[in-house]
Amino acid sequence: MSASTAPNLIAAVSEARQWDRLMELAKLGAITGTDGSPGVNRACLTPLDREARRLVISWAEGLGLAVSVDEIGNLFLRHEGTDPAAAPVLTGSHMDTQPNGGRFDGIWGVIAALEAVQAIREAGVQTVRPIEVVAWTNEEGGRFAPGCMGSMAYAHYKPATAWDAVADHEGVTFRQALDEHRKAEADLSHRPLGGKPFAYLEAHIEQGPRLEAEGKDIGVVTGIQGSRWFIVEVRGETAHAGTSPVSTRRDAVQDMVRAINALNALMTDPTDVLRFTVGQIEVMPNTSNTVADVARFTIDFRHPDKELLIANGDAIEPTIRSAVKSCDVTVTERFHALPVEFDPLVTDAVQAAADAQGLASLALPSGAFHDAQFMVPLCPTGMIFVPCRKGVSHNPAEYSTPGQLAAGARVLAAALVDLANR
Amino acid sequence: MSASTAPNLIAAVSEARQWDRLMELAKLGAITGTDGSPGVNRACLTPLDREARRLVISWAEGLGLAVSVDEIGNLFLRHEGTDPAAAPVLTGSHMDTQPNGGRFDGIWGVIAALEAVQAIREAGVQTVRPIEVVAWTNEEGGRFAPGCMGSMAYAHYKPATAWDAVADHEGVTFRQALDEHRKAEADLSHRPLGGKPFAYLEAHIEQGPRLEAEGKDIGVVTGIQGSRWFIVEVRGETAHAGTSPVSTRRDAVQDMVRAINALNALMTDPTDVLRFTVGQIEVMPNTSNTVADVARFTIDFRHPDKELLIANGDAIEPTIRSAVKSCDVTVTERFHALPVEFDPLVTDAVQAAADAQGLASLALPSGAFHDAQFMVPLCPTGMIFVPCRKGVSHNPAEYSTPGQLAAGARVLAAALVDLANR
């Protein structure tokens, strides 16, 4: 009988404990959605974020895990293996949320990993390799764009100083926020940035409708679609709304609308696979009776097909330039990630664990972006999805049942033991 | 020889003094435009606004004028007539600016009125009626919308408490800002709100290109085009930018773009007389990788023709409702002012003064909105325009020469004496 089907391990995963921890964390930054749903707004590197981290650390210390942080604030909770020198299995996700976020996106992957490790220890299951639970810094990119800074720095995809000058809405830079954060966590053990894990496995709610619609318990994630993010700045000239003739204006808002119209045409996809979003707009001086001289907007473009991602992404700037009438335009690509495929070493372990536990599973790609994206070049990587109601996420209405989350944690525990004994 | 052509009065208007005062005031809130021009950002009811008012008050007190304020913060500087009981001639404008404003819009009307009164006193010209210089509170509406609150309250068009709940970008309400302002000016003499002037005459830069283009010194303003202002709120649902299919989204930004496209079609005007502006946009949660659930935008619509103003303004809400695809919409009209015509009593006085001084004048309507709009139902009203470079306003590049402004102040002085002796 393999470790992954050990009944004492599966029984040791506590649905109630995992749920209670999630609900306790959901109090930190609690908000109420427009439909009355209880959501969370907990941006990275804030006092709220640190409060949540301290809570998780207290649980980890109660279990006897070794706590450490690296220079970009990634938090690690280490369960020792029988061979402490062996490359560890890494598992986790992120603790920050969208401004209008839910109670499960990210944080469940951290709490599920903690639950799995707790079950492994309480069940007396031995693993050769250490298992490290990680909470990555700034996955969401809601306060400081782009997201996934913590995993990007860990994977040496970018240096940890790459985003020093990125500022939030209040003008605080990422560097300032990170320095303050590290000062507040100076009592925690420090570890060098990066590492060479044996494997990485991340648990996450699906954030899409497929598992629920198809009645599945577990998503065996095959890969992540590619993403390209842009910031567009349209620069015209302020003018008096009452006197300046419309024909002579250099109106940044109107040229932004022209650009979005042209992009909508470029991004039309009858198959509904392509994702194109303008989610953020800033206008200056932003007063009702002055023609705007500046309009900035973001583009979030994703597709699972590499060729289409490259072709349509490269067409964004010329499309905008053709569309605007009288303003100057700057188009900056601030993030470019090609589609990735996960490793059979990990996806097979997840599939085997789901099968052994009699859970209905579905192999599917991830529509959302995840820290796992950046682990792919570093080590065999995979993800576990659980269903979420109507596929809603980045919204307080985001919801998965305690039972769905417990099933995910059980599969995670078994797959981790499997991987950690290879 | 009438008072309006008294050579000692005209000679007593000082081009240098008026210019120096404007330049001194332009230091309070000085900003630099994108082209390097020196502009001003001085919002109403701020410490900067109060500093500017104290400077003007110090000049008025130096002249011996009686200073008072009313409950909405309108500031009055009174030159006494030989009959103190006679209805006064009221003249002035506003001291607040747009966030990216110039050095002349509004403030010149106050300083020109002060210069005219100073010239009248220094020339020893007697007037039967008192002349009151007024600086209206919040004409621009840049911090608290709509503008012209001070003149609307004075004219009893709305009660002074009508805008108590209006909040600025930082969430400070107009009531909070006004209470703080009045506390800071508690040492000033208080006067009841409102009054019944004999006439109102406001001097202002044209904020349009006509006087300069036609080589005229003075605009004899015939009236003000009508304005209708709206706030539109589009409400959809947040969703994950990577996972939610575009076809199922309730994307507030995309429905806002659809609404603006439809409004652009409605507001198309080959004669280029109609003014349609979307100057302010707020998006929530305003993060690049979340589909927005709220988009708010403003509409500033103006036209000199009453029938067209009513017809197109009334079509705004149904046009938006037909255009949006999946979001809910609220359209709120927050300001509605029909076109007004000025009174020959005042326009003739301006015309006579310009003619007597050998200045080239042009009768023209105002494209911009002014406090004078609200004086029309109260008393005979008029305005004097002077040219401004390329018609640029609401921008640091706004400029009129010292000589153009002095010519305007001379016409104002003569017309005020004319009206104050009727």
Contacts with A291 from chain B: Cβ below 8 Å: 277, 279, 394
Bridge-partner residues for A38, per DSSP? A32
DSSP A6-56: -HHHHHHS-HHHHHHHHHHHHTTTEEE-TTS-EEE---TTSHHHHHHHHHH
A-chain residues near B169 (CB < 8 A): 286
CA atoms of A359 and B272, how far apart (whole Å): 67
Q: Hunting for tokens 């003149």 — which residue is that?
A: B151
Distances (CA, A) of B190 to B66, B73, B180: 11, 10, 15
- Distance, in Å, from the CA atom of B413 to the CA atom of B357, rounded to the nearest integer, reads 11
Chain B residue with minimum CA distance to A168: B287
Which residues on chain A are in Cβ contact (under 8 Å) with B244?
208, 275, 391
Q: Region of A124 please: left (phi>0), alpha (psi -120 to 50) or beta.
A: left
Which residue of chain A comes nearest to B146, CA vs CA? A288
Q: By three-state DSSP, how is residue A111 classified?
A: helix
Residues from chain B that touch A295, judged by Cβ atoms under 8 A, are: 281
What span, in angstroms and rounded, lies between the C-alpha atoms of A363 and A366? 10
Distance CA B29, CA B38 (A): 10
C-alpha distances in Å from residue A95, one per residue of A139, A279, A314, A318, B390: 8, 22, 33, 38, 55
- Partners of B281 on chain A (C-beta within 8 Å) are 253, 281, 283, 286, 295
State the architecture of A3-225+339-420 in CATH terms. 3-Layer(aba) Sandwich (3.40)
* pLDDT tens digits for range B133-156: 999 999 999 899 889 999 999 999
Identity of the residue in A280, A287, A394 whose CB atom sits nearest the CB atom of B98: A287
**Which residues make up the CATH 3.30.70.360 domain(s) of chain B?**
226-337
Hey, what are A388's tokens?
């979420």
**Contact predicate B395/B102, CB 8 Å:** yes
Q: How many CB pairs under 8 A join A and B?
A: 242
Give the residue ranges of the annotated binding site of A: 94, 105, 140, 204, 394
Three-class HEC string of B146-207: CCCHHHHHHCCCCCCCCCCCCECCCCCEHHHHHHHHHHHCCCCEECCCCCCCCEEEEEEECC
Phi and psi at B263, nearest 5°, equal -65, -40
Point out the residue among B147, B169, B253 whose CB comes nearest to the CB of A281: B253
CA dihedral B265, B270, B271, B272 (to 10 degrees): 60
pLDDT, position B161: 96
Which residue of A41, A168, A212, A244 is the best one to mutate when testing the B interface, meaning the one whose CB has the most B CBs within 10 A?
A244
Place of tokens 């029309």: B376
Averaged pLDDT for residues B320-332: 98
CA distance A17 to B99: 53
Give B-chain residues touching A293 at CB under 8 angstroms. 34, 100, 395
DSSP per position, A348-361: HHHHHHHHHTT--E
The whole-number pLDDT of residue B66 equals: 98
Residue B237 has its nearest CB partner, among A238, A239, A395, at A395
CA of A192 to nearest chain B CA: how many angstroms apart? 30
pLDDT tens per residue, range B235-273: 999 888 998 889 989 999 999 999 999 999 999 999 999
Q: Exposure pattern of B231-246 as b/e (b: 16+ CB <10 Å)?
A: bbbbbbbbbbbbbbbb
pLDDT at B239 (0 to 100): 87
Q: Which helix (H) or strand (E) holds B253?
A: helix B252-266
Res B4 pLDDT > 50: no
- 3-class SS at A327? coil
pLDDT band of residue B335 (cuts 50, 70, 90) is confident
Q: Which two tokens stand for residue A129?
A: 């390799």
Pairing of strands A294-303, A275-277: antiparallel
For the purposes of burial, counting CB atoms within 10 Å of the CB of A257, is it exposed (0-12), middle (13-18) or buried (19 or more)?
Answer: buried
Instruction: Indicate which of A299, A394, A398 best probes the interface with B, i.e. most B CBs within 10 Å of its own CB.
Output: A394
CB contact under 8 A, B253 and A394: no
Length of chain B: 422
Is residue B400 a contact partner of residue B217, using CB atoms and an 8 Å limit?
Answer: no
The residues that bridge with B203 in the sheet, in sequence order, are: B384
Q: Convert B71-113 into a string of H (helix), E (strand) and C (coil).
A: CCCCEEEEECCCCCCCCCEEEEEECCCCCCECCCCCHHHHHHH
Selected for mutation to probe chain B from A276, A290, A334, A336 (highest B CB count within 10 Å) is A290
Q: What is the pLDDT of residue A4?
A: 43
Ranges of CATH 3.40.630.10 domains, chain A? 3-225+339-420
- The binding site of A for Zn(2+) consists of 94, 105, 140, 204, 394
Structural contact between residues A279 and B288, judged by C-beta atoms closer than 8 angstroms: yes
Contact check, Cβ <8 Å, B281/A286: yes
CA atoms within 13 A on the CB side of A327: 30
**Given this model, what pLDDT does residue A2 score?**
46
Interchain proximity A280–B287, CB inside 8 Å: yes
Distance from CA of B108 to the nearest CA of A (A): 17
Question: In chain A, which residues have pLDDT < 70?
Answer: 1-6
Taking each helix axis as running N to C, give the angle between helix B107-122 and helix B402-420, from 0 to 180 degrees, rounded to the nearest 10. 60
Known binding positions of B: 94, 105, 140, 204, 394
CB atoms within 10 A of CB A372: 26
Annotated binding-site positions of B for Zn(2+): 94, 105, 140, 204, 394
Q: What is the CATH number of domain B226-337?
A: 3.30.70.360
What is the spatial distance between Cα A366 and Cα A353, in angstroms, rounded to a whole number?
20
Cβ separation A243–B275 shorter than 8 A: yes
Q: How far, in Å, CA of A390 to CA of B74, rounded?
A: 56
**Residue A302, SS3?**
strand
